[in-house]
Amino acid sequence: MTPLPQATNPTRDLTQGPTLAPTRALGNGARIPVIGLGTFGSDHVSGAQVAAAVLDAAKIGYRQFDCASVYGNEPLIGEALQAVWKTIAPREEFWITSKLWNDKHAPRDVASSCEQSLRDLKLEYLDLYLVHWPFPNFHPPGCDIDSRSPDARPYVHAEYMETWGAMEKLVERGLVRQIGTSNMTIPKLELVLRDARIRPVCNEMELHPHFQQSEFVAYLMERRIQPIGFCPLGSPGRPERDRTPTDTAPLEDPVIRTIAEEHHIHPAAICLKWAVQRGEVVTPFSANPRNYAANLRAVTQDPLTQEEMEKIAATDRRCRLIKGHVFLWKQNQSWEDLWDEQGEITPA
């Protein structure tokens, strides 16, 4: 695996402010903090609570926030960000991501969706705008995994490239600094890389010790596309609808628990250290001040040894938690069809 360049750790005089997370260089030279606060409240943490966490996390040193229009809380986060610029540090010191939702893939909707996120977040530009999922599909927020949209559609590359073309125009207009993909597969990205004028700089994807996607991570790193890992703790607070009986929990893994005991820290911190040391950027969610402070600390001190990294690498269960059932477009399909597990795009 080609390692990404070493993350820098801006050593700060603690009397002058909080310890900031290291940053990582992207393929085009921009730098992204290795940790961002997730902002999806998983249906049980209110927008106001998430916004309060954003403001407080900025105080202790977070410089990245992973937002999306579908999380339904961008207006409240926008107010928190205004307070951040006034009281903590200027806008330029932060990395703000947002995402295009699945029912807005039509090129005419891309610009208006981005402009709406900018209005809600009260920003003049986004650092990163992602196509949230490769499937153009409406389903209401909070719907059950068994619900199917009558107009659900498979991945159609020509259509995705029309969406991508509209994303490229956002860069040219200066509304977004970088564009990226999310929930993609190698076969789909191969085509995007072949046809894009502006390459994706990041791919956001589920990554945790029980779902390591090592082949995909290596593929991305070889192409200087930064993997951003969502659910890096195995999403212990995810909604009931996203749980199945075969799911496993990295925070309960005996290997990870033993290493955590040896370091006198929570298994969550071990998951984050492992992820960042293997080259990821992570977006753990927390609305609990003790936990989000511990998560930031985890990636700034006390790294794992090579032996510990290898022990965690051996805990992979290939257990995808966010399966995406609602994107299925035909009867009698299984969710694995969404992820091109045969090495090619699943035929329509």
Instruction: Classify residue 257 as exposed, middle or buried by CB count within 10 Å of its CB (0-12, 13-18, 19+).
Output: middle
25 CB-near residues (< 8 Å, 6+ apart): 4, 5, 31
Span from 187-195, 286-294, 300-308, 330-338 in contact with ligand NAP (CB under 6 A)? 286-294
Q: Of the candidates 98, 102, 149, 182, which one interacts with ligand NAP according to CB under 6 A?
A: 182
> Does 204 participate in binding ligand NAP (rule CB under 6 A)?
yes
**71 classed as catalytic:** yes
Q: Of the candidates 28, 147, 288, 305, which one interacts with ligand NAP according to CB under 6 A?
A: 288
Amino acid in position 65: F
Span from 10-18, 105-113, 232-240, 255-263 in contact with ligand NAP (CB under 6 A)? 232-240
> Does 181 participate in binding ligand NAP (rule CB under 6 A)?
no
Smallest gap from Cβ 141 to ligand NAP, in A, equals 13
Taking a C-beta distance cutoff of 8 angstroms, is the pair 81, 54 a contact? yes
> Does 248 participate in binding ligand NAP (rule CB under 6 A)?
no
Q: Which of 71, 129, 155, 292 is catalytic?
A: 71
SS3 content of the chain, % helix, strand, coil (to 5): 40, 15, 45
Q: 274 vs 145, 210, 277, 285, CA distance in Å?
A: 31, 12, 5, 17
> Does 266 participate in binding ligand NAP (rule CB under 6 A)?
yes
Q: Of the candidates 7, 40, 80, 104, which one interacts with ligand NAP according to CB under 6 A?
A: 40
- The conformational region for residue 155 under phi > 0 = left, psi -120 to 50 = alpha, else beta, is beta
> Does 137 participate in binding ligand NAP (rule CB under 6 A)?
no
Q: Of the candidates 187, 237, 239, 303, which one interacts with ligand NAP according to CB under 6 A?
A: 237
Span from 16-24, 156-164, 170-178, 280-288 in contact with ligand NAP (CB under 6 A)? 280-288
> Does 285 participate in binding ligand NAP (rule CB under 6 A)?
yes
> Does 69 participate in binding ligand NAP (rule CB under 6 A)?
no
> Does 100 participate in binding ligand NAP (rule CB under 6 A)?
no
> Does 212 participate in binding ligand NAP (rule CB under 6 A)?
no
> Does 201 participate in binding ligand NAP (rule CB under 6 A)?
no
The CA distance from 328 to 348, in Å, is 10
The CA distance from 341 to 345, in Å, is 8
Taking a C-beta distance cutoff of 8 angstroms, is the pair 157, 174 a contact? no
The CA distance from 84 to 71, in Å, is 20
The CA distance from 118 to 176, in Å, is 10
Smallest gap from Cβ 31 to ligand NAP, in A, equals 20
Q: Of the candidates 78, 200, 227, 234, which one interacts with ligand NAP according to CB under 6 A?
A: 234
Taking a C-beta distance cutoff of 8 angstroms, is the pair 60, 207 a contact? no
Smallest gap from Cβ 323 to ligand NAP, in A, equals 11
Identify the residue whose tokens are 């075969």. Answer: 246
Token digits for 171? 């860069």
Taking a C-beta distance cutoff of 8 angstroms, is the pair 43, 241 a contact? no
- Tell me which H or E stretch contains 256: helix 254-263
> Does 232 participate in binding ligand NAP (rule CB under 6 A)?
yes
* Nearer to ligand NAP (CB atom), residue 15 or residue 138: 138
Contacting residues toward ligand NAP, per CB under 6 A: 38-40, 42, 66, 132, 182-183, 204, 230-238, 266, 268, 283-288, 291, 294-295, 322
- Catalogue the active-site residues: 71
